[in-house]
Amino acid sequence: MIAYVTVGADDMAAARRFYDAFLPALGYGVSEGPEGLSYALPVEAGQRPVLPDYYVKPTFDGRPASAGNGTMTAFQARSQSQVRALHAAALQAGGTDEGAPGFRAAYGPHFYVSYLRDPQGNKIALFSDDPDEPGRDDA
């Protein structure tokens, strides 16, 4: 099981605007401190954390942050309409489009996805794979 994902950012204010545009809608809470941004799903008293957490941090070595080539983090939305809404909100908050919401021929008939880059260039996918919603092959 993946416990957490960390991405680097040089501009925490820009990163927060971007990630706050969609992660709270997916249930993540945020805390901010000198070490950066920490997004986590809520934990009820006596329960184990729901994983993974997502961290946006300055680099440890002090050099500029960079996005990984081939690296992407995917977040599951509740519906196709939420994918569309969160994609639009993330673009408004400083993200760049890497693929508009829709079905892709290479994936299953219900896999509805959009792709973005955060202000630092990290790639993000927002997807829904709900078999109760219309699929790619439905008329």
- pLDDT, tens only, 77-111: 999 999 999 999 999 999 999 999 999 999 999 99
On the question of pLDDT at 138 being above 90, the answer is no
Element (H, E) at 99: strand 96-103
Domain covering 4-59+68-128: architecture: Roll (3.10)
- Map out the domains of the chain as residue ranges: 4-59+68-128
Answer yes or no: pTM beyond 0.85. Answer: yes
On the question of pLDDT at 126 being above 90, the answer is yes
Nearest one of 135, 69, 32 to 40, comparing CA atoms: 32
| HSE (side-chain half, CA atoms, 13 Å) at 52 | 12
pLDDT average, residue stretch 27-50: 94
Residue 15 backbone phi and psi in degrees, to 5 = -60, -45
Distance of alpha carbon 49 from alpha carbon 29, whole angstroms = 13
pLDDT of residue 114: 98
* Full DSSP string of 20-48: HTTTGGGT-EEEEETTEEEEE----TTSP
